[in-house]
Structure 1
Amino acid sequence: MRGNVFLRYVLPPLIALPIGFLLLYPQLIRCMRISQSAAFRSLSHTQGVYVSRKTTPKQEIVLRQHVLTARDRIRRFWSGQKGKAILIYCPSQSDYEQYCIGGEGAGCSLGLPWGDSYLVLGPDGNNTDVIAHELCHDELFARLGWWRVKRQIPQWFNEGLALMVDYRFSSPSVWEHPDSIQTEDPLFERQAPVYRNPVMIKLKDLETTRDFFGGGSEHVMRAYQTAAEEVARWLSLVEQPGVPALANAILAGKPFSKAYQELERTHRNNQKRQSSKP
C-alpha cells in the first residue's frame, strides 16, 4: 500500500519538478550540454572553462590569467576552494543571452539543486573582479548546498560577500593586507568603495532574490550598496577567518543570524579583553 502511494503521489512530482524547471529555463540545458556544443571548446591549460569559438587568441590569454588570479583570490578569502563551477565565456552578447538567464550584467551564476553550477561570462566578463564575484557565489553554494543557501542565507549576505572579492566595489584592505594582493593583474586598481551614501534599505527588506532584484535599477544599486556596507562592516570585525567559520557553523546546524551575530560578538569581546590588559 505504501509503495502504491509513493508511486502515485510522490514519485511523479519528484520527476516533474526538475524537468519543468529545466524546460522553464532553457539556458540551463545549454549550460549542461556545453561540452557537447559545436560552438564552444574547452580553454587550453585551464580546467573547467569553455570559450566560444568566436573568442580571439588575445581574449583567451587574458581570460586564462583572470581566471587564475580570481581563483587564487577565492582561495585566500575562503581559506581554500571547494567550488567546481564550469565557466562559460561568451564574447558576444547574442551568445551570452543564450546561456545567461536575462542576459544582463557582465556575468551570472546558475546553480542547480543537485549540485552542478555554471558561471557565464558575457562580453564585459573577461575581468578578474567579475570572475571572482561569481566564483564567490559558487563557493557559498559548494560549501552549504543549494537548498540551504536558498532557504537560510539572505540575499543581501550572498551579494555582499561576493562584493568583498570584487574590487570594483570594495577595498581589499577590508579583509587582507594590501601587500598580499597580486598586482600583476593589469585591471587591478586600488579603488575606494563606491558605496559612500548612507544605507537606504533595511536588511530585512533584502532577504530574498525578489526583494533584492525586484525593483528598478536605482533600487538594485541601493541594495548592492546596503549589502556591501553591512558585510564590509562585519568582515572588518571578524576578519577573513570569519568567512569559513560562518559557513562551518551553518553547516553544523546553526541558523545564519545566530552564527553571524555570535562571530561578531566573540570578536568584540576579544577586542575588549585585549584593550583592558595593562
Structure 2
Amino acid sequence: MRFLKITLVTSLFFFVFSFLFFKKEALACETISLLGFEEISPNVYTDESLTSQQRSLLNSAITSAYDRVEQVYGKAQSPSRIIATNNLSYKKFGLNPTGMQNSAFFRECVFLGPKGLNVDVIAHELVHAEVRYRTNFFVEQTELPAWFIEGAGIKVDYRAPFLMKNIEMSEEEIENVKSIFFFRDFPNTSVKTYQASRVAIEVLDPKQLYKGLERLNEGESFEIVFNF
C-alpha cells in the first residue's frame, strides 16, 4: 500500500511538473506581477526595462490597435492581458523579440518584445486573442486551421510586407498554406507563408468573422461556415 501511495504521489508530481513546464507561458501570464512587472493601465503590464516614454507610447499603440481591430472586425470582447518588455531573458516564458499570443488558464495573453511595441504587432496579436476567446477548446483544436488564425491577424497588420499591394502569390502557394492546420506545421519565420495566409483570407467578409466563430461553437463545420 505504501509503495502504491509513493507511486501515485510521484506520478502526480511529474504530471503537474510536466503540465506547468509545457504551459509555462500560461503560468507566466497568470503570475506576471510576481515576476517584477507592474500594471501601468488596466490589463497592461511592463517591467522596468521600458522607459516612461515607451510606456506612454505603448498605451497609445494599444488604444490604436483596439480601434483598428474594431474597424475591421467589430468590437473586441476579450479582456486580454498584455505584457511588454525589452528584456529578452523572458524568452523562457514565451517571449520572442516581436510578440506572440497565448491562452492562459483564465484569460488570453499577449506577450510583446522590443520589436513588437507598435500598433501593427499589437493589433495582429489581439485578433488571435479574440478568435481564441470567442471559440471553445474543441473548436480551436478541430475546426480552426493555423493559416486562418494567422490570416485574420495579418489582415490588421499593416507592415509593408503584409499589404496586399506588395504581395505576389501563386494559386499553388495559396493552396499549400491552406493545407496547414496545426501551428506546429506553420513556418512562423517565413514571410511568404504569412503573405499566403493574408491572401487566402481576403475572400472573407471581416464583419462576419465573429458570427462565423459563434456558428462554429454551435457545431457547424469550418468549411460550411466560412466557405473555404
**Which interval holds the TM-score relative to the shorter structure?**
0.7 to 0.9
Match of 1:82 in 2: 77
Cα distance, 1:119 vs. partner?
0.6
Q: 1:142 aligns with which of 133, 138, 144?
A: 133
Cα distance, 1:25 vs. partner?
4.2
Q: Residues 227-264 of structure 1, C-alpha deviation per residue, up to 9 Å, x if partnerless?
A: 111101x13xxx33221221122122111111111xx8
Match of 1:275 in 2: none
Relative distance call for 1:146 and 1:90 in structure 2 (3 A) is farther
Aligned residues: 217
Q: Residues 169-225 of structure 1, C-alpha deviation per residue, up to 9 Å, x if partnerless?
A: 588xxxxxxxxxxxxxxxxxxx654322325252453111122138xx4xx333212
Relative distance call for 1:59 and 1:204 in structure 2 (3 A) is closer
Letter in 2 for 1:254: E
Relative distance call for 1:120 and 1:210 in structure 2 (3 A) is same
After superposition, where does 1:64-79 map in structure 2 within 5 Å? 64-79=59-74
Runs of at least 5 residues in structure 1 that lack an aligned partner in the other structure: 1-12, 172-190, 265-278
Query: Do 2:169 and 2:196's aligned partners in 1 also have CA atoms closer than 8 Å?
Result: no
Runs of at least 5 residues in structure 2 that lack an aligned partner in the other structure: 1-10
Separation of aligned partners in 1, 2:198 and 2:178: 15
Letter in 2 for 1:133: H
Cα distance, 1:126 vs. partner?
0.7
Cα distance, 1:16 vs. partner?
7.5
Q: Residues 10-43 of structure 1, C-alpha deviation per residue, up to 9 Å, x if partnerless?
A: xxx9997665322234343222211233x21111
Relative distance call for 1:156 and 1:18 in structure 2 (3 A) is farther
Match of 2:6 in 1: none
Relative distance call for 1:78 and 1:34 in structure 2 (3 A) is same
Separation of aligned partners in 2, 1:18 and 1:202: 38
Answer yes or no: is 1:198 the counterpart of 2:157: no
Query: Do 2:96 and 2:112's aligned partners in 1 also have CA atoms closer than 8 Å?
Result: no
Match of 1:56 in 2: 51
SS of the residue corresponding to residue 144 of structure 1 reads: coil
Q: 1:40 aligns with which of 23, 28, 37?
A: 37
After superposition, where does 1:163-242 map in structure 2 within 5 Å? 163-168=154-159, 193-199=165-171, 200=173, 202-213=176-187, 217=189, 220-232=190-202, 234-235=203-204, 239-242=205-208
SS of the residue corresponding to residue 153 of structure 1 reads: coil
Letter in 1 for 2:65: A
Query: Do 1:156 and 1:203's aligned partners in 2 also have CA atoms closer than 8 Å?
Result: yes
Which has the higher relative contact order, 1 or 2, with Cα contacts under 8 A spaced 6 or more apart?
A: 2
Cα distance, 1:105 vs. partner?
4.6
Cα distance, 1:123 vs. partner?
0.5
SS of the residue corresponding to residue 202 of structure 1 reads: helix
Separation of aligned partners in 1, 2:161 and 2:191: 14
Query: Do 2:164 and 2:199's aligned partners in 1 also have CA atoms closer than 8 Å?
Result: no
Q: Residues 123-150 of structure 1, C-alpha deviation per residue, up to 9 Å, x if partnerless?
A: 0111001000000000001111233212
Separation of aligned partners in 2, 1:132 and 1:24: 26
Separation of aligned partners in 2, 1:17 and 1:250: 32
Relative distance call for 1:27 and 1:208 in structure 2 (3 A) is closer
Q: Mean alpha-carbon deviation: is it higher for 72-81 or for 59-68?
A: 72-81
Letter in 2 for 1:224: Y
TM-score normalised over the length of structure 1: 0.69
SS of the residue corresponding to residue 205 of structure 1 reads: coil
Separation of aligned partners in 2, 1:18 and 1:255: 34
SS of the residue corresponding to residue 120 of structure 1 reads: strand
Q: Residues 98-118 of structure 1, C-alpha deviation per residue, up to 9 Å, x if partnerless?
A: 432xx4351011114x54221
Query: Do 1:164 and 1:170's aligned partners in 2 also have CA atoms closer than 8 Å?
Result: no
SS of the residue corresponding to residue 116 of structure 2 reads: coil
Separation of aligned partners in 2, 1:248 and 1:27: 27
Answer yes or no: is 1:159 the counterpart of 2:150: yes
SS of the residue corresponding to residue 45 of structure 2 reads: strand
Separation of aligned partners in 2, 1:53 and 1:63: 14
